[in-house]
Structure 1
Amino acid sequence: MDLRRLRYLVTVAEEGHITRAAERLGIQQPPLTRQIRALEEELGVRLFDRLPRGVRVTEAGRVVVEAAQAILERTERLPDLAARAARGEQGRLAVGYTSSGAFHPFVAQQIRAFRAASPGVQLGLAEDGTPELVRGLEEERIDAAFVRSGGTYGAGLLVEPVLEEPMVAATPSDHPIAALRDVALRALADETFVFYRRPTGPGLHDAIVAACLRAGFSPTVGQEAPRMSSTLGLVAAGLGVSIVPASMQRMNVAGVAFIPFSGDPGLTAPLLLVTRRRGRSAIAERFRQQVRAAAPPR
């Protein structure tokens, strides 16, 4: 469909007169008449009734004119839409996060801030394990991901530290340790641990095991859970104790107590932002820059 003909159609309909429409369009009346007739032949309907003084839009013509106006309005907006997309203000952004990352207030703050600053961007969110998020980035199903694991990533991914937070002990609320103000990591040597599966979060898993070894013991793992959030459910059921990022306290799981560690056991949980090194959209780059600017000084 020729957009020029659609403009001619709308102008004739607005003027109700071929000659006046031709003057408004800056063309001669005969070519305009031919273009309108060609459009009628293309569509197979009569768009105007010819009157002694001007023209009148037919019922079919009225429907076509309304559709043409909508099409022309959208085409007029194309340059602005293209410019907004190039600036990262229009389009779609898919952000992933691990279950533990979702509970850190920084993640929610960044998502809210980006939504407020970019109302034209459709924001999609996805919670998953680190391996699944990495695969989503590599397959370009998501654009950015907040993860906890500082393990090995492919050369095509950019991994940037955002912040680190302390980790705390999580025990059943009726456990003797739950009454303490703080606890030494060594005091957990005889406890049965509930861990999240290593493939899900290898970085935190290995960091906890290494800290326990430095404290003089190897943790006895009684249960493993697919997500850190489900780990707390197993702790509440009395199946063992665990070590989790401090922000997990925001879950307010009934039956679980959180106790800070005394001294410095070297247990911190990183929050990392992962994006693709190449092929980042302007929107993904704007989100990355926002997160970097908001990250606390290291």
Structure 2
Amino acid sequence: MEIRQLEYFVAVAEERSFTRAAAKLHVAQPGVSTQIRQLERELKQKLLDRTGRTVLLTEVGAAVLPYARAALAAVAGVRQAVDEHTGLLRGRVSVGMVTSSASAYDLPRLLADFHREHPAIEITLSESTSDHLLSALREGRFDAVAISPSTTVPPGVETLTVADEPLVAAVSPDHPLAGRDRLRLADLRDEPLIIFHQSVGARATVEDACAEAGFPPRIAFEASDPNLLAELAAKGLGVAILPAPFAAIRPTTLRGIPLTDPPMRGSIAFAWRENGSANPAANALIRHLQRAMRGGDE
């Protein structure tokens, strides 16, 4: 049994595709298939069900997967121990983020700073919903994720809030509501709303508040990018509900009006496994995020 075979098996199990696994590993697909067949012959058991369009784990494969991951983590730890003695930290970290969250806390800058500190560490970044990100985090497919805290955080996961802003009603300067100092959510009952897509945590916040106020939101436009929501509102296409800073940076084209009864907030938090990771590179990233978000007091 070779480490390479276990690496290929884990990649196919996670990607549910030989093609995607080969692309992720930067190797040819036939080589992936050959190595996994050799592993199955050695174990005398099928690990993958190849009969459908999506590759699935067999019952044996599902039982083997956590041990394969643990073996790869152990090998990474051995390599890391050597690198630490030579002063070089290397490896791979996988970061996930909920759609639209990056602009709330300047994720590109955080990752660029980390890359300058640890140029030998490979960083990958993917987008998804908060629920999916948390599930993948617990399974070890992500090392750190940025989520909406409105999602229920499962046991064993630690979080750090990195953005928390009031949601405002944003309208064009010539909109009938532009002269108001504040608005109740019920005031927007009949207004065409421009709100986040369902993949963004703030969408659930708005929908829940509307339900409590006794009306379904009249959704005219939805998008994951808050800048797009702001631009649509600035063109007079409706009332955008978005974090206050995205209205404040457009003082000539957009008026942000505080929302009361109820006030709403949009938040983003980083999350990671509470007991740390077997991957030293991932632990370095988590420490970097903690220092950056807490002002360097870690």
TM class by shorter chain equals 0.5 to 0.7
Q: TM-score, normalised by structure 2?
A: 0.56
Q: Deviations over 1:229-274 (max 9, x none)?
A: 465576567553231123445997xx97351416785322112111
- Check conservation: 2:184, 2:262, Cα contact below 8 A: yes
Question: Does residue 204 of structure 1 match 2:202?
Answer: yes
Distance 1:126 1:79, change over 3 A: closer
Q: Distance in 2 between matches of 1:81 and 1:274?
A: 26
The 5 Å alignment of 1:228-247 reads: 228-229=225-226, 231=229, 235=233, 239-247=237-245
The aligned counterpart of 1:154 is: 154
Aligned length: 215
Aligned amino acid, residue 134 of structure 1: L
**Deviations 1:77-122 (CA, angstroms, capped at 9, x unpaired):** x978733399992111222222321112443332232122222211
Report the 3-state secondary structure (helix = DSSP H, G, I; strand = E; otherwise coil) of the residue aligned with 1:141. coil
Bigger radius of gyration: 1
| Corresponding residue number in structure 2 for 1:183 | 182
User: Which digits, 9 at most, give the CA deviation of each residue in 1:175-208, with x for residues without a partner?
Assistant: 333566x53244434312233344x23x423433
**TM superposition score normalised by structure 1:** 0.56
Find the residue that maps to 2:238 and give its secondary structure. coil
CA distance change for structure 1 residues 231 and 79 in 2, over 3 Å: closer, same or farther?
closer
How far apart are residue 166 of structure 1 and its match? 2.3
Which of 273, 277, 291 is 1:276 aligned to? 273
- Give the share of equivalent positions with the same residue, in percent: 24
2:230–2:254 CA contact under 8 A, matched in 1: no
Is the contact made by 2:170 and 2:230 (CA closer than 8 Å) also made in structure 1?
yes
Contact 1:184/1:261 (<8 A) preserved: yes
Given that residues 103 and 247 in structure 1 are in contact (C-alpha distance below 8 angstroms), is that contact kept between their aligned partners in structure 2? no
SS of alignment partner, residue 146 of structure 1: strand
Q: 5+ unaligned residues in a row in structure 1: which ranges?
A: 1-77
Point out the more displaced range, 228-237 or 119-128: 228-237
Report how far residue 134 of structure 1 moved: 2.7
1:119 aligns with 2:119: yes
Aligned mates of 2:154, 2:188 — CA distance in 1: 36
SS in 2 for 1:161: strand
Q: For the Cα contact (< 8 Å) 1:167–1:260, is it kept in 2?
A: no
- The separation in 2 between residues aligned to 1:152 and 1:87, in whole angstroms, is 39
Select between 154-163 and 85-94 the one with higher mean Cα deviation.
Answer: 85-94
1:289 corresponds in structure 2 to 287
- Answering whether residue 229 of structure 2 is matched by residue 261 of structure 1, we say no
Cα distance in structure 1, aligned partners of 2:223 and 2:238: 16
Q: Which AA in structure 1 matches 2:219?
A: G
Q: Does 1:227 align with 2:227?
A: no
- Greater shift, 226-235 or 159-168, is seen at 226-235
The corresponding residue for 2:31 is none
Partner of 2:52: none
What does residue 107 of structure 1 align with?
107
Equivalent position SS for 1:92: strand
Secondary structure of 1:112's counterpart equals helix
Query: 2:182 aligns to what SS in structure 1?
Result: coil
Cα distance change of structure 1 residues 124 and 173 upon mapping to structure 2, 3 Å threshold: farther
Quote the residue 2:131 is aligned against: 131
Q: What residue identity is the alignment partner of 2:167?
A: M
Q: Secondary structure at the match of 1:261?
A: strand
Residue pair 2:170, 2:257 contacting (<8 A) in 1 also = no
Q: Structure 1 residues 126, 256: closer, same or farther in 2, change over 3 A?
A: farther
Larger displacement relative to structure 2 (121-130 or 236-245): 236-245
